[in-house]
Structure 1
Amino acid sequence: MERKPPRSPRVAWEKSGAPQERRPPPEPYQVTEVQPLHADADWLHLCVVEEVVIDGIKAYINSTEKDLVQKMQFLNCIITLCSTARNKGLTEGLDVFCHRNKLAENVEVLMCEEPREQLCTALRYHTMNAIAALSSVKAISEDEIVHLLNICFNVIFCLPPKESLNICLYNHTLHAMDNMLKVLLDSHPSSSIHNQLQSILEVLLPFTVSQSKTVCERALNQMWKLSGFMTKSFWQQPVGKNLHPSQRTKIVLMTLEKIIGDYSFDEKKWAETVLDMVLRDPGTWLIDVPEILRSIHRNLEINTTSLQQTLLSLLDVLTNRFPRDALMSVLTDLPQSDSTTLDIWKRMLSLTGTSERILEELRHVLQDPELCGVFNITTEDSGLLSLTMMHPTDEILNKLCNPALLQRCLKTESLPILWLALRGLGLLSERPETAREIWALLPDIMETLQFANMHIVLKVLNICRLLMSYLGKREASPIALKLAQKLLPLFNHVSSEVRECSIRLFKDVTEAAVWWKKGTMKKNVRRGLLPLLFHMSDETPSVAQASRETLVACAKCLKWKELKHKAREENIVGIRKCLLQQDRSRVEGYLWQSLPYLKDSQASLRSEAVKFIGLALQHSWDQTEEKLNEICSALQPLEDDADPAVCNLARGTILMLSRQRQQASSARSRLAALWCWL
């Protein structure tokens, strides 16, 4: 019975012993009988596969003693056989040849014979390339592939830590594993990709729960790479659905680590691909809200602005997808007195487009009984805190004006709760009728400055400024004295906004003291003179301007006309001389007060401190050698300052100190000689 011609009619598997000659292709529609494939390599037509490849495979199989060279040649022959068959379109029947010659079994033996504690040869590398080649032409069965995968993972993942291995060879071996898995997936049609992926993951999963940390990390890293490959190559494949929830979370955390950590450019680009997949399907990948939020918090503390934006984008998606879980997790799973926690909280509550939904969830979260117990507030009152995020209508402000609740919230250790309370107080302090209701809370409000968080401090300063403006001098004076003491340390805050606000408020409290309180206020004013002088050279112009204006107010309070005149003229040289000449008893105090500014982050302030110290030493009578040595030690680091001007000033001042020390030593010698003579 005649048959239809085969797909490649010019190819025929001939009987053993038949002459191996090239035959012309048959005429169109000529009927050709395809002979069955036999195990003997001689049956392969020489125009298809080089004879040396067949002989190499045959020689290895028949050999009883196999050295490393023979093993490598055997694997290379398999790769060449599969590559040639694929390129020539002659893969049909190749699976029978491989099965009868037990190629899969021989490859397995090679892998198992390698020492588990060493990676001294490229045999594993070539073995995985051979498995990839066999898979690409369907030369071995799916069961054989799965079995070989398990062997590969076992012999690679169980190697010692990479620090104990040849790093170059180790990296090449891992690259071969990556390529093998890609080939396994690429060689399948789209309809069966999901099943093949599932098979690979089922082999990987047991390694992710190994008792060995190294094995777990390697298996998880391989799963991470596989997820990225599937995302990049097969967008329609829901990779996360094939993983356990904990494994999805681990992949997300690994992705963040590779984006943020010190990894290669290729790994970072791959991580960006995986992150895109996560952000497109947050319902699958971001289900462990507390764990992911802790990772965002941990990495926000240590990373640059560009990387922070990546983390904040992930935070936005997490909040939009799981608003209640995210808000609750901030209040229960993150450190409550931490500035980064507050940054996350503010970001969540400032999202546009979904604010109504998030505010509704905020109301439910704040009324959680257990949470209220933690923060020592009632569920009935805590609901008022959600009003602080709403548009401040008269109705809202009237409900919010609850001094007792707000006072309890001011005593909390939770920055997110405190921020809400201060936000409410800020709204109330903007209207005279409500400000009068809460002004008695000023001492409690000032106590929150202890947190030194920029957002908290700015809110407190703004509230104090507004409330002070509504009070008469008699009411404001006691508060002004306490507030002045708390403001002085803020002059040197890292935030220019805090510096400016605290300096301007210091001016207000200086002017608020009534005449019989002036004596007490003057002590605080004198402590502020030198910082104000230095900050007239602040690199932020608004801070420098605020310092000049406040110094004028301080001069008025002290009734130092010359200082007031020099401050108005912005005559910094004149102000220096005025401070040192006006009250010689304070020269020593000014000198020691200057030393911390030698370490200021602003070069302009370091420079001003050096200049003032040099001038102060000329006005100081108590120039002991111990004092000069201490000041010299404080100046020495500035000899290598990044700013050339500071560097030159420091060297000149140190030279002057050296001369003064010599003079002091010489004077002591003369005095000792005099005593001996007497």
Structure 2
Amino acid sequence: MLQAAAPSIEMNPSSTKRKSKRVTFEPSTLQASWKSHLQGLCQLEREAYAFILEFLEEEHMSEFAKLKFLSAVETLSSAVRAQADGNMDNYYPKAILAKKIEILILEESTEILMGNMRQQAMLCIVALSQVNPPFRLSQKLDLVNVGVSSLFSLPPIMPSLYRRDNASLYLQTVQALDDMLQALVMDGMNPNMLILQHFLEIILPWSSLSDKVHEQMRALGTISRLLRFICSFPELSHMEEFSMSGKLMSIFGLFCMDCNHEISKEASEALHYLFKILVLQRSVKQKTETILKDLQKHFHGAWLASLQDLTLFFKKYLTPEERADMIMVSMEAMTNTSRHDISAASKMLKMILKYTIPEIGKVPEIIQYIYYHMNSITETTAQKTIKKILYLLSQYYTDEVILTLLKIEDQSQKGVCRPWEILASFPKGYEMIMDYLLQRLTPHQRSKDQEPRHRTEISPLIATRAIHELLLEPSRRMEVQSFFSSLFMALLFQISFLVVEVDTEISQDQQHIAECVDPISSTVEALKTLMRSSGYGDYVSSIQRHGGWWLLVNPERHYDGVTVLARSLVINNCWHNRPLFSSIIRFLQDPDCKNHLTALVFLTELLQCPDVAALVDDFTTHILANWFKSEEPAIVKPLLQMLEVFAKHENMVRRLRILQPYVLNYCYSSNSDIVLETLLVLKNLLSHLTWRHSSSFLIQLTFTLVPFFEEVSEHLRLAAFEIYESLLAKVKKRGLVFPLKHQILNLLVPLVLHLRDVNTDVALICRSALCHTAAMLGWSKLKAVFAEKDVWNILGALLEQETNKALWFLKQCVALFKSPQVPIRWAAVWFAGQIIQTLDLEEIDEIEEAYTALRHMQRDSDPMVSCLTTQTVYILEAKKKLLLAKAPTSCFCRRRPQRHYF
């Protein structure tokens, strides 16, 4: 180390200017605890030690005595260092000596540099730092603070012919300070980076806060030389905990663009050595040499080369938190009054954030700084840069940005800054943020394997609030149109989720927000704002007049509110009806999606819009058909209502064939409410269907209704007969194809017998159905009988006219033996008896099934039915005996023509 020449101090009277007797070493005058350690010292060292004791006892000492004291301390330090287990505290407390030296430095003038007292004091600290015990951190910081302020506060010292000695003394003192800093930063054999960090916290304010050029130059030069010293060590203590790299890079980078060439040069060197430390400590060893060579090429090079290195190190060698510090320091520079500082900060931020942004830490702190200082940054370029930072962070750390902004607004007064306006000022960024918030809005709808992008994930409530804030910004009304449908449905689904499922789980991140915001009302307000910002303010008022908003937040009437909301869009022919339809269909493609009931209720009403109905195709209908597989009553109801809507539009009615098997399957549900609801819907459906478009469906329906004709439930039975009667009314004679005609004839006897139904409405409907049947079959004579006569006359006339169908009629009677109604069973047995009396021998042989059924009916619970059945069995047996007795024996006898069903 370069040391200034110290005056030679001899321990004799002739060598001092003090008029005192010779200083002699007398062990008897020392403290007993130190006596044993003095034996190993030579006479000169003992005399130095004695002078130290004498000096410390004096209050006012001359300049020469002070220098002599410092020399004595150095002498004693050398002696202690030479000892194997030397310890300065064995002779005198090291801390007291350091404090005395600190006082000597403080006594030096900061107005002028005279003498080498300052220099010698710093070198004395160097000597003390090399002996035990080591300085405590607080002692080191006090010494550094005193040494730095004593030297940096001096006025500018410019070398000249007349002040050459003064300039030389200054350079020697600067070197002494460097030596002191280098000695104090050491921890054993290696520099301690945590100690360095504390030193830098003392030195940096002289560069960043001072407005004096010479102070800035001294601070930057001191740091540069200290970093250069550290570069020479391959290993550094506590490098992982050193967290100032980002701040240093930003400060040095800004000073590199300073208009003063000397400041720029000092900052460039400091930045170079900082880069070198980072390369040595954080780079892959195989690449270290190459990177160092490249750095050396740029040493004292053009600023553009340094800026490129700055960008490289920002992305590859800084931690996320250090990158944040670099951004923060640069933003702070933008609040300065100096246009040069603002320009430099803008250039640096633009460069380091020009390409893909790396991971950034302390995002909330950056957002808070922007929030509170945006209004104080008035320079145009700086404003653009700050907005760009906010935009980039909102892209990569949307959750943290949104959460921080809402926390700030909740904890402070409004109007400090309008960050939402800044976010909205970037069209593409606005859409990106909205799209991201949409994903956060309904987390229960995302797949389980979808991982969050960022370190924090905002809740649906916070996402809703953020969407609301962004929608309030009028500058992005056009962008709102592009995602209106998705956002509308997402907010509606969120309302359903909150109202119906009552999700009470609130994450810690949103607890403070939930205390001041009602989730349901907040989401409803966001939905209203969306409609207003899209030009649908009148719709909001219309929904209000019809009580739609109140219904929407009522758990018991929520889906009525959804219906009112959709109906308003349909009535007003909303432009977004078609996009809304597409959004719902995409949503329903997922069989596990939540809020499907809301989607189905909304879609049922939306399909009544002609433009929407025109979009329905086979693909869409198949998606809906998958939901018809559900038997949950709440889902079945809107699906059946949707079926009625399908029948009203020509484009959709053609797709009923796809839904037909699923709808008819509801008729066989184990849930009687679903069955009744299905029959009622089918009844209404027939009023809209035509034979031309729905013949196959109507024929299939005819077969489906048969089991319901004998239902115990009068509601189900009545509905079934009403449907059948309506169906017959639609069938024209020319459309009477084989399967339908066969089924109509197969249901002829049940229609007649149900004229005795206990439900008079059923009886009336059956008579009307009989008239339709007669008209279709061309039975003009029977038509009048069906319309006017009673059951017995009708059955007699039917058997008389259609004798060839007697066995078919008998089979229908047998099926009605199981009817739950006594009058119908009685009439069925009676008609069976009438038919049997018309049969010949061959036909009698073919009614074994009927005979078995009659034998069983003899045990009927009703005595009248049982009695009539017994009589009928006797008639059957008597008929058979009579026919056998009259049967011709010749094989050539004439046979009666065989009767056919059809």
The reply to whether TM is greater than 0.5 is no
Look at both structures and tell me which one has the larger radius of gyration over its CA atoms. 2
